[in-house]
Each structure stands twice: as structure tokens, then as C-alpha cells.
Amino acid sequence: MLRIPAPLYAQVLGHCVEGLPDEACGLLGGDPTGAVRRCYPTRNIAASAKLYEVDPVAHLRADRDAEANGLAIIGVFHSHTHTDAYPSPTDVAQAPDPDWHYVLVSLRDTQPVLRSYRISGGRIDEEPVIVEEDGSAP
Amino acid sequence: MTVQVRLPTVLRPHAGGQSTVTASGSTIGEVLADLVHSYPGMAGQVLTEDGTLHRFVNVYVDDDDVRYLEQLDTTVADGATVSILPAVAGGYGR
């Protein structure tokens, strides 16, 4: 399960929309229970509507910031501009960590669609996403 | 030269769960070879069979990505921090 405060949920969607026409991406900082506490929008250095690659230096900065705040990078988000919010074969093949949460945002339709998955050994499992309204986060 | 190497979570099980280990070498190539020598479970995950940097990891000396420096020939100072993180990439295709 992924739990994400509403402002961070909005930040993820906003970064994805701002990235159009290219795919957008970023990292999620949080704790091992799947509670997101930081959103790190990053540049897509692939600058493509079909591919994304998180800026490595931004990844290092995010990793350090998360660690300094007692958190860890627990996942990545990226947009699909013309397809479902479902991991592509490329996403699965390149999933870097089986403990991460893989958040997909589809911008195909008028309203963005956000879904989250666990990816391990080529297997894809969707997980619930709980959006925590203001005040409900610990 | 002795450096600190920060490991990503996926490599930590190969180092007894440690997040940071020490390694020796005067270049990134030597440091990574020493790392793999000490922790053979990392073989094939950091360096390819050809001895080049695996494309699924990014390696940094302090704040700099070695791909934009001299890659495996990048020199490291004594006491430097070498960080390894997964390269995070993908894209649509379904």
C-alpha cells in the first residue's frame, strides 16, 4: 500500500502535467511502510515522450535529503503521456529495486490517472493508493 | 587511497546489510574492483563482465557523476565518498 499526503499527490500530478509533451519523472521519499513524506520532482534527461531517465545528480541529492530526514527513497513516479497507468515492459525490465513503489500517471485522458505497483522478478502487482487529506498524516 | 562507498539498498545484502563500506583504490575502477573483491555477490551488478560500468547503476565521487568525468578512470582522493545508486529509467511501450 502507498500512502501519500494530498499535497504531495497534487505535486506528483502537477509535475507530470508540466512535463508534457514529454514523460516526466521524480522520486518519492518515505518510510518502509509505504508512507510518502517527500516528493522530489526531477528532470527527465531522456527528454522524450516515450522514455524517462531520472537525472542522476538529482537522484543523489534526493537520496541525501531523504537520509538527512530519517527517510529513504522508496519509489519513483513517471508519466505515460498516451498510454495506461500500467508498467511497460521497459519499466519492468529496468525496475531498480523490488522494495520500491512504482507510481504511474497516465495523461492519456482529460483527468490524470495515478496508480502504484510493486515490481519484483518481472512480476507486477498493483497496490492500493491512499491519499491522506491534510491533518491525517502522522 | 581508502574511500567510503555508500551502497544502494539492493546491494546491501551482499555486504552484510551495511549501507556504507570502505574500499581502496586510486581510481573508480580500482575502487569498484576492490569492492567486488570484498563482496563477490556484487559481481555483475556494478561492473559488467567486460569490466565496464554497468548501465543500471550510477556512480558518484562526492557530488559528481563519474559518467561526466573520466568514468572508471576518474581519480579519487583519500577519504572521498563514492556513492552508488540505481539508474532509474523506463518508459511507455504497452
Q: Mapped to the 3 state alphabet, what secondary structure does B17-86 carry?
A: CCCEEEEECCEHHHHHHHHHHHCHHHCCCCECCCCCECCCEEEEECCEEHHHCCHHHCECCCCCEEEEEE
* Domain enclosing residue A62, as ranges: 2-132
Residue A122 inside a domain? The answer is yes
- Give how many domains chain B has, as a whole number: 1
What CATH number corresponds to the domain at position B69? 3.10.20.30
Domain count, chain A: 1
ipTM score here?
A: 0.89
- In angstroms, the CA B34 to CA B30 distance is 6
A119 occurs within a structural domain: yes
**CA B72 to CA A62: how far, in whole Å?**
24
Cβ-based contacts of A32 with chain B (< 8 Å):
none
The domain in which residue B58 lies consists of 2-86
Residues in B closer than 8 angstroms to A97, CB to CB, are 8-10, 86
B85/A76 CB distance under 8 A: no
Q: Which pLDDT score is estimated for B94?
A: 41
B39 near B57, Cβ under 8 Å? no
The whole-number pLDDT of residue A134 equals 73
Q: Is A64 within the bounds of a domain?
A: yes
pLDDT score of A65: 97
What's residue A135's pLDDT? 57
Strand order in the sheet with A113-120: A36-42, A25-30, A72-80, A101-106, A113-120, A123-127
pLDDT tens, B29-51? 999 999 999 999 998 899 988 88
Flag residues of chain A having pLDDT under 70: 135-138
Q: With an 8 Å Cβ cutoff, are B94 and A86 in contact? A: yes
Alpha-carbon distances of B29 from B10, B26, B70, rounded to whole Å: 20, 8, 10
The confidence score (pLDDT) of residue B55 equals 87
Residues in chain B predicted with pLDDT less than 70, given as ranges, are 93-94
The answer to whether residue A103 is domain-embedded is: yes
